[in-house]
Amino acid sequence: MFSKILYPTDFSEPSKKAIRYVKKLREGGTKEIVILHVIDEHELLMMIEGCGWLGKDPAECLDEIEKKHREMAEKELNKIKKKLMSEEVKVKTQIEKGTPFKKIVEIAEREKVSLIVMGSHGKGVLKELLIGSVSENVIRHTKKPVLIVR
């Protein structure tokens, strides 16, 4: 039914919970899984503001922060890939930079996935009733089915 799954992850606890569902779907006949991590451009820009206080060039600092983030993400994605690999399922990883929900929607379309499986944080006093803004925006902007795990 869901032959190709997109599993976006930010390596948070809700993302880790979502991997259980990806595994179950894999056992149910999924043939391919795309694991995606998006480096949030806005977060990077906020981080470099601190570089000025340290007397560093913001452009160099941005490159250094992004490089470290990318290295960490590759390491984590490879761990997840090993957990999801099987003889019947192709697993690939991707790292993109941009606005997370936009990149998730874009990759889902480009990869022609049949399902997006992602974790959600939930925020504020109504935590149990709300879903995270990335998840909410993915649901609002994609034409693909989305499974949200909390």
Length of the chain: 150
109 Cβ neighbours under 8 A, 6+ residues apart: 142, 143, 144
With b meaning 16 or more CB within 10 Å and e meaning fewer, what string describes 137-149? bbbeebebebebb
**pTM of the entire predicted model:** 0.89
Which stretch of DSSP H or E encloses residue 81?
Answer: helix 58-84
Report the percent of the chain where pLDDT is more than 70.
93
The HSE-up count of residue 48 (CA atoms within 13 Å, CB side) is 16
Domains of the chain, earliest start first: 4-39+78-149 (3.40.50.620)
Residue 98, SS3? Answer: strand
Split at pLDDT 50, 70, 90, the class of 113 is very high
For 46-61, the pLDDT digits (tens) are: 887 777 777 778 888 8
Split at pLDDT 50, 70, 90, the class of 102 is very high
CA-CA distance, 119 to 9, in Å (whole number)? 8
- Tell me if 35 sits within 8 A of 7, measured CB to CB: yes
For 4-45, the pLDDT digits (tens) are: 999 999 999 999 999 999 999 988 889 999 999 999 998 888
- Tell me if 147 sits within 8 A of 116, measured CB to CB: yes
